[in-house]
Amino acid sequence: MMDFINQLLDNSQIPVITAFLLGLLTAVSPCPLATNVTAVAYIARNCMEESEDRGNAQRRVLWSGILYTLGRTLAYTLLGALLIYIIRQGADTFGLQQFISEWGELILGPALIIIGLFMLFGDKLHLPKFSLTPSPSPNGEGSYKGNMGALLLGILFAMAFCPSSGLLYFGMLIPMSAEATAGYLLPLVFAIATALPVLVVAWVLAYSMQSMGKVMGKIAAFQRWFNRLVAVLFIGVGIYYSITML
């Protein structure tokens, strides 16, 4: 997959297409791939929580994918706009790039561990009501109002630059964007491409509710174990990033 995208990238002469291919290449790179797998698990968890209410589950899963994509888009686009502006003013962005790369990956590991622990033990703590997943509502409004966790995950995962994603974003996308006429558009295209696998999986899950609901509705205990599995996945990916940094 990466070899195929690299071949297309080598032959691309159009900045918008190049930005899209860079985003896809970022999505399938090892570190970002781990975060995308975690995001897919998070969205699947939403799916399981309302497997019996198929209409609300479809809305919830679709909004999870959309808000996750929006989070990545906001982070990459706003950061890209700032960097492009700085470069076009003739200033050096190395210090800012280094700061974001170091702190983004440094924060991601502990943050994922804390989120996973909240998923496992949050209901046992006497804390104000807080959840990374939306609370169900009869009219389906909770499917997007309470799903801000997906938006926050998108922002968090986008800012966690590992060496491969940092090279593609800072080393290739931003210099190209600073020289292109429609340069401010390119980080937006890049961001959508990085989240595209998660968005596709969310769409597939949403429109598989009918068949999945028949199975999951008969296995009530599966939801509890799946929630724990997702929490462990968050903790595991967090530990992976923490070890990588160390």
For 203-242, write each residue's pLDDT tens digit.
Answer: 887 777 555 555 545 444 556 676 778 888 888 888 887 8
CA-based angle 183:188:192, to the nearest 5? 145
Q: Which residues contact 65 (CB under 8 A, 6 or more apart)?
A: 43, 150, 198, 199, 201, 202, 203, 206
Q: What is the pLDDT of residue 134?
A: 45
Average pLDDT of span 172-191: 92
| Across 25-29, 73-77, 128-132, 179-183, least confident range | 128-132
Place of tokens 């190209």: 176
Average pLDDT of span 5-15: 80
Residue type, 61: V
Residues above pLDDT 90, as percent of the chain: 22
Structure-model confidence comparison of residues 121 and 19, the more confident one: 19
Confidence of residue 82 (pLDDT cuts 50, 70, 90): very high
Q: What is the pLDDT of residue 221?
A: 53
Give how far Cα 5 sits from Cα of 162, 181, 185, 187, 190, Å.
19, 24, 21, 18, 14
| Across 16-20, 173-177, 210-214, least confident range | 210-214
Average pLDDT, whole number, for the chain? 78
pLDDT at 22 over 90: yes
Structure-model confidence comparison of residues 246 and 168, the more confident one: 168
What's the CA gap between 150 and 35, in Å, rounded?
Answer: 12
Q: Which range, 8-22, 117-131, 175-189, has the best average confidence (pLDDT)?
A: 175-189
pLDDT at 150 over 80: yes
Place of tokens 């890049």: 190
Q: Tens of pLDDT along 35-51?
A: 888 888 887 776 665 54
Q: What is the pLDDT of residue 46?
A: 64
Q: Tens of pLDDT along 115-143?
A: 888 777 765 655 444 444 444 444 444 44
Residues above pLDDT 70, as percent of the chain: 76
Q: What is the pLDDT of residue 129?
A: 42
